[in-house]
Structure 1
Amino acid sequence: MGKVSVIIPVFNTTEFLKKSIGSLIEQTYKNIEIILIDDASSVACSNSLEELSKQDKRIKLHHFAANMGVAAARNFGIEKATGEFLYFMDSDDYLPKQTIEILINHIKEFNIIRGQTRKVYFSSALAVILDGLYQVKIYGDKKYTLIKNESVLNSLFRADFVRDNQLTFDEDVRLYSDLTFMVPAFMVAGQIPYVKEAVYFKRKRNDAINNPSLSQQDTEVKIKSYMRVYNSLKKQAISFLDESETEEEAEDIQKALDYLDRHFLNFYRKTIVSYFLDETRIMPLFNELAESFQLIDSKELNKYSWVLKNEAKPILVNNLKKYIRVSKRHHELRQLRNGLKKKRKFYIYIYKKFFLKRKADEKLVFFESFLGKNYSDSPKYIYEYMLKNNPEYKFVWSFNEKKDIPGNATQVIRFSLRYFYYLAKSKYWVSNSRLPRYLDKPAGNIYLQTWHGTPLKHLVFDMDDVHSADPNYKQHFYDQSRRWDYLSSPNQYSSEIFKRAFKYDGKMLEFGYPRNDILYKRDTEKEIRALKEKMGLPLDKKVILYAPTWRDDEFYGRGKYKFTLQMNLDQMKKELGDEYVIILRMHYFIASVLDITEYEQFAYDFSSYDDIAELYLVSDMLITDYSSVFFDYANLKRPILFFMYDLEKYRDTLRGFYIDVENEVPGPILRSTDEIVRSIKDIDGVQMSYRDKYRIFYERFCKWDDGDASKKTVEVVFENE
């Protein structure tokens, strides 16, 4: 079989190169050359390419002096290719080992063969390929469906076919240049086989802010590029149709014309219409849009809805003012139609259409803690301070169910109509987790984000791969955090991380956490006894608090995580039950329900208990893993044990840590129940051996807390406004 030239443009994709190029080196089909075109990348990226190019003699590295774009790099690669076949790849993607072999074995007499593209968010994915069970489908009349993703990727081309037909990528556009190569190729290719077992892993980057792919760039640029490509291809295809010599050739070109029109109209519906929700964006693009619509075949346009046809009329006659009126009316209808689909969507529609237009109450404060699950954390203590010291304010609390709380705050059920009404009416929002992304802020609103812990695990933009249930986590977080006016920080270490990991440049409240005020003001024998009585805990036994965090890769769905208890409660009860009881407190993201009925009078599930700070006070020691609870608990200077049975996986794969856990945490790292039991039986010795580490830890992470964080926060956010 012939040589395959794999052409890869590279521009600042340092972190992906090893995986991408490594997947080519490991291909089972060995007769390949790897043509890397460094499109004037950073020094770091260029150096990485130099090092990688030394690993395999089949790699040919070329450097551009100036950034020329993907299209120019691919055209250059075609010129340099010496193979009988051409294969294009992006430098952040990767392949299973057999992909090129499967394509080369099935191209036979055809000029092009396509494989399957799978979008992935991680640096590792799996494709199960069963030898001999390949399903090859030949596309003729419907071949244009094979380029529905506008991509040249995972297509194998005969090099002579490409050169004989002078196929190139349009270098004048930064986006959608693949179409300028693929559509002309398909017009002259005849039939095209597709084999789904030839898999290509297309990385969908999870950081569209720091490191966007081409497809994640500015929408206006995308629209302009797309219209230019459509106009060029449509005119080219029309000229080909005029010059066609056979009926069969004309039919093939007509299919290309129909495909281009359908593709353009779908792009208009999904991208341009959404972009034009802000009507100020219409005028700069309108003339180009009108030019594109002039090229659409009326028969194809008539297949679409009356809404689209109604919008097309003023575009076709280049009537900007009328189009703006029609577009505005249609957007209102779309929003209403969308709002009528579900109750919450209807409430969001009412919120945006009506509630936000009302004047906000300057003395109304809206509180929420942990997505409405609890009356707890910093919002609770800010509220209770204001109850006593700021009687001129009125308060609203958002809960999933009604709570018994002090004061006369209005309570609203989260996502009810009253919830949206009071969000719009409140001058102030106070929350310790992100409020929904679709909540536009009222004019003049002040949003205090108290956050919910000193970070141990890498956060947001400090994370590489995102293993959570929300692959768009970084983009969504960025959008939501742009609304924060103030952010609470518990220590200097956190301030530095928050600024970087959240991309936050707003006002930082560096007073410690209001939620920790209780640890200084109520740490008395009398208060602790009263809390134990309220909780139903025995007064004659010591209390162990076990508070683990969630695992990003173990979930039922978005925001609902699994947790399997690795601690042997039978052994714990047998060896410690005479002196201790244990409180289990799961993270609020964890949806798993613990069944501990057989451990009655020893194990207590307090996962639904509102305020973990009160659990800190009643406990004599803490067992945790990677939860930020130990930073807060350290304010009490009581023993902390770290049950990190999956340390390597959590540190190296899921999140990564900001501190050197094995050397800096103020307690022993334990891997088994045996180790936990031994440490508890010798807790005085453990505490003594970690005395110096604890002192250093306390100075670094706890010294801002002094019991007055709520007071200081209110003075800045409310009294200074």
Structure 2
Amino acid sequence: MIDAYEEDTIEQELQHEIIDIGKVTIIIPFYNTKDYIEECLNSALEQTYENIEIIIVNDGSNEENTAYLERILPRDNRLIYVKLDEHKGVAAARNSAVQAGSGEFLYFLDSDDVIAKNAIELLTRYIKDYNLILGTTKRLNKPLELMNIILKKRSKVVLTKKMYKLFKGRSILNMLIRRDIFSDTESLFYEDTDCFTDISLLVKIISQCEQIPTVKQPTYYKRLRNDPITNPGIMQKPNENKTSDFLKIYKHLHNEYNSNERIIHYLDLLFLNFYRKNIILLFKDTGKVDQFFNDVVSAAKKLNSQTLAKQPFHIRLEMKQLRRANIKKFKKTIKTHLEIRSLRQGLKSIKKFKIYCYRKFFIKMPLKEKQIVFESFLGKNYSDSPRDIYEHMIKNNLDYNYVWIFNDKNKKIPGPAKVVKRFSFKYYYYLGVSKYWVSNSRIPMHIDKREENVYLQTWHGTPLKKLVFDMKEIYSANPNYKKNFYTQSRRWDYLIAPNKYSSEIFKSAFLFEKNMLETGYPRNDILYRDNQKEKINNIKEKIGLPLDKKVILYAPTWRDDDFYAAGKYKFNLKLDLQKMKEKLGSDYVIALRMHYFIADEISTEGVEDFAFNLSKYDEIAELYLISDILITDYSSVFFDYANLRRPILFFAYDLEKYRDKLRGFYINIEEDVPGPVVKTSEEVINAISNIEDVNLEYKDKYDHFYDRFCSWHDGQSTEKVVKEVFLESK
């Protein structure tokens, strides 16, 4: 089935030169993607294969996007700009480009993706006498300038005859196609749907090709559009839209190619796969069965009996009921199918079984009206605003039962709360039956919220770096970050804001429209209540810090693009602790407090009597109290620390990259922050050595900053929150 090309022979014949086999037309439809188009267009213009033309079709974009596109278009005789008067969809845009182009070969590129500089060269080198050649596609998971795209002149190439295997993904991207296998007059893309329009070209290809080579080297970098809420890609539309479009194009092509056995087989496999992955999930809502039943019936009736005969029994049964249009029996069967699927999924592992029990049993049990579940930083700490709310409630003897979630089931905390291990059966049980949830981070996606639940989201900082829907693009371990965040944040009933600035940002960044508690953070009450020498010394003694030395607190954030896995980020300590000890050790010690996402264990080897790793210390507010100077970067800790009016240094060694490529800021970090921005350990040491001069220089800016970001805090935030959420509505 699969053979390898003789690569050495090919390279010898080509003598490492680029051979011109004809003009390649690169087609780029553009519709409101100004954030990505420049990178896409440049990747096409910079191709090592020179005989190209690039047709960019503006598919009725809005004025802002059109103006941007027309401003960046270079004067290049290889570039053809087509502007459609109205938005007609990607199929019409591509069809118009095919007609406008003159190349012997076609190559389709989406306006939010990029291709390697030698992508076209490699495909032309190995296409030989074949009608079509595929490249290898990879995910674009970092900013383009940070991607390590390795260009090779040689590549392994494989051949396959299994068309369904090649085209299961229903995409024509990253294919070099000979134009002359199609007639000059036919439309290649079906224009009556938004989704799945590529299939109409794929079936034409299947009718023309017996076997297809694939270059086994990355040539195309696909950007997974990570904002399906406010800026969705075509295939990120709701399942209802995709189902309507798929059924329409499936039936259309089935009718058109009813005598072509290979194409019918391909279409039927696509339908059965779509049915299992999309339609069955859509039918979890029985109302959707009524809505889509007739369309699915008409599609099922077109299935080839031989293809259907090879399907599992339950699929054959459901297709039989569909083909007979027996909606009553079908509803019963699909309900059983979903129940069995859910159980089978639950039996795959102990974790999945716990989730199954949660969804099947726990959230259907009677709700405990006077029970609250608390969690802080994904179960890592007894800290932050959830801790302050809990301690206030038990101090005032409020009539509630309390549950705390921790990763360590042996965690000791004050008061009557039941301690439950995160992701244990008890964890799922108590989340299922407790009316109130209090958390400062997101509860996992698989935890469904009952309608009667009340979820208080305390959040965990004033935003400096842009958040969620205020971010243009996200390069992190989780490509579904925005989609998941949107789903999770729909569960929040209350959200605490520490200042007016944050309240406004939370509404846009989280798309939050429910109850905003403009009270200040409960976690900052301690900074007003316990800012006393005796209490500060007690904390130092508890930690084991010397009482005769001042404390520097270093609390940096995480970098989106530097990770081991989702939620586990790397950190490269840039501070020179040895040099700091030499210069500052007679007067200071330094406490290191990493972000809770950071998975690295920071080493203090050789400076143990100067540097103390307190990353696992529960309450960072206590570290604020005992410290005399804060060093941070882009962490929101400095907004809280400013309540103490103590000096802050901003160690921003990667400022340009973080600001311009990874996140972006809401404020001007070089103009608005209440302390100097430094980029080297030497500058940090110099600032600390002259801290009185720093205080004097930044006094006015600090006063303005305090008024803007700290004025809501008065030591009474916890009481205000508890009154609003747990008392006033009772």
TM category, shorter: over 0.9
Q: Distance in 2 between matches of 1:60 and 1:467?
A: 32
**Matched residue of 2:92: which SS?**
helix
Deviation readout 1:183-230 (Å, 9 max, x if unpaired): 123212344333234712222111111111101011111111111222
Q: Distance in 2 between matches of 1:28 and 1:603?
A: 52
> Which residue number in structure 1 is paired with residue 88 of structure 2?
68
| Cα 1:137/1:539, change in 2 over 3 Å | closer
The within-5 A match list for 1:285-304 is 285-304=292-311
| Cα 1:110/1:533, change in 2 over 3 Å | closer
Q: Distance in 2 between matches of 1:394 and 1:198?
A: 56
> Which residue number in structure 2 is paired with residue 531 of structure 1?
539
| Contact 1:144/1:186, CA 8 A, preserved across alignment | no
Q: Distance in 2 between matches of 1:439 and 1:91?
A: 36
TM-score by length of 1: 0.95
Say which of 588, 595, 602 aligns to 1:594: 602
The question of 1:608 aligning with 2:608 is answered no
The within-5 A match list for 1:496-645 is 496-645=504-653
Say which of 276, 283, 291 aligns to 1:276: 283
> Which residue number in structure 1 is paired with residue 387 of structure 2?
380
| Cα 1:393/1:144, change in 2 over 3 Å | closer
Structure 1 segments of 4 or more deviating over 6 A?
none
The question of 1:130 aligning with 2:152 is answered yes
Q: Distance in 2 between matches of 1:676 and 1:119?
A: 39
Deviation readout 1:551-601 (Å, 9 max, x if unpaired): 222222111112222212222222222221111111111111123243233
- Counterpart amino acid of residue 155 in structure 2: Y
| Contact 1:360/1:442, CA 8 A, preserved across alignment | no
The question of 1:414 aligning with 2:434 is answered no
| Contact 2:358/2:429, CA 8 A, preserved across alignment | yes
| Contact 1:96/1:126, CA 8 A, preserved across alignment | no
The question of 1:146 aligning with 2:166 is answered yes
Relative to structure 2, which stretch is displaced further, 695-704 or 95-104? 95-104
**Matched residue of 2:670: which SS?**
helix
The within-5 A match list for 1:669-680 is 669-680=677-688
| Contact 1:621/1:638, CA 8 A, preserved across alignment | yes
| Contact 1:103/1:198, CA 8 A, preserved across alignment | no
| Cα 1:564/1:617, change in 2 over 3 Å | same
Q: Distance in 1 between matches of 2:323 and 2:138?
A: 38
Structure 2: which 5+ residue stretches go unaligned? 1-20
| Contact 1:624/1:642, CA 8 A, preserved across alignment | yes
> Which residue number in structure 2 is paired with residue 247 of structure 1?
none
The question of 1:710 aligning with 2:718 is answered yes
Offset at 1:121? 4.0
Deviation readout 1:147-186 (Å, 9 max, x if unpaired): 2221122222232322258352111111111111111232
| Percent of aligned positions that are identical | 50
| Contact 1:7/1:89, CA 8 A, preserved across alignment | yes
Deviation readout 1:520-578 (Å, 9 max, x if unpaired): 01111121122222222211111111111112222221111122222122222222222
Offset at 1:620? 1.2
> Which residue number in structure 2 is paired with residue 250 of structure 1?
none
| Contact 1:454/1:631, CA 8 A, preserved across alignment | yes
Say which of 360, 363, 371 aligns to 1:364: 371
| Contact 2:143/2:661, CA 8 A, preserved across alignment | no
> Which residue number in structure 2 is paired with residue 7 of structure 1?
27
Offset at 1:127? 3.7
**Matched residue of 1:664: which SS?**
coil
- Counterpart amino acid of residue 449 in structure 1: Q
Q: Distance in 1 between matches of 2:686 and 2:37?
A: 47
Q: Distance in 1 between matches of 2:184 and 2:688?
A: 78
Offset at 1:317? 1.0
Q: Distance in 2 between matches of 1:191 and 1:407?
A: 71
| Contact 2:26/2:106, CA 8 A, preserved across alignment | yes
- Counterpart amino acid of residue 38 in structure 1: N
Offset at 1:123? 4.5
| Cα 1:531/1:144, change in 2 over 3 Å | closer
Q: Distance in 2 between matches of 1:486 and 1:86?
A: 53
| Contact 2:116/2:151, CA 8 A, preserved across alignment | no
Offset at 1:602? 2.0
| Contact 1:369/1:375, CA 8 A, preserved across alignment | yes
> Which residue number in structure 2 is paired with residue 494 of structure 1?
502
| Contact 1:19/1:123, CA 8 A, preserved across alignment | no
Offset at 1:511? 1.0
- Counterpart amino acid of residue 417 in structure 2: A
The question of 1:100 aligning with 2:123 is answered no
Q: Distance in 2 between matches of 1:51 and 1:529?
A: 62
- Counterpart amino acid of residue 399 in structure 1: F
Say which of 177, 181, 186 aligns to 2:201: 181
| Contact 2:206/2:262, CA 8 A, preserved across alignment | no
| Contact 1:167/1:185, CA 8 A, preserved across alignment | no
Q: Distance in 1 between matches of 2:162 and 2:399?
A: 70
Q: Distance in 1 between matches of 2:463 and 2:79?
A: 42
**Matched residue of 1:117: which SS?**
strand
**Matched residue of 1:163: which SS?**
coil
**Matched residue of 1:661: which SS?**
coil
| Contact 1:95/1:199, CA 8 A, preserved across alignment | yes
Deviation readout 1:25-80 (Å, 9 max, x if unpaired): 11122222222221111011111232233432222222222211111121212222
Offset at 1:427? 1.2
Offset at 1:144? 4.1
Deviation readout 1:664-697 (Å, 9 max, x if unpaired): 1111122222222222221111111111111111
**Matched residue of 1:15: which SS?**
coil
Structure 1: which 5+ residue stretches go unaligned? 242-252
Q: Distance in 1 between matches of 2:275 and 2:401?
A: 47
- Counterpart amino acid of residue 82 in structure 1: S
> Which residue number in structure 1 is paired with residue 53 of structure 2?
33
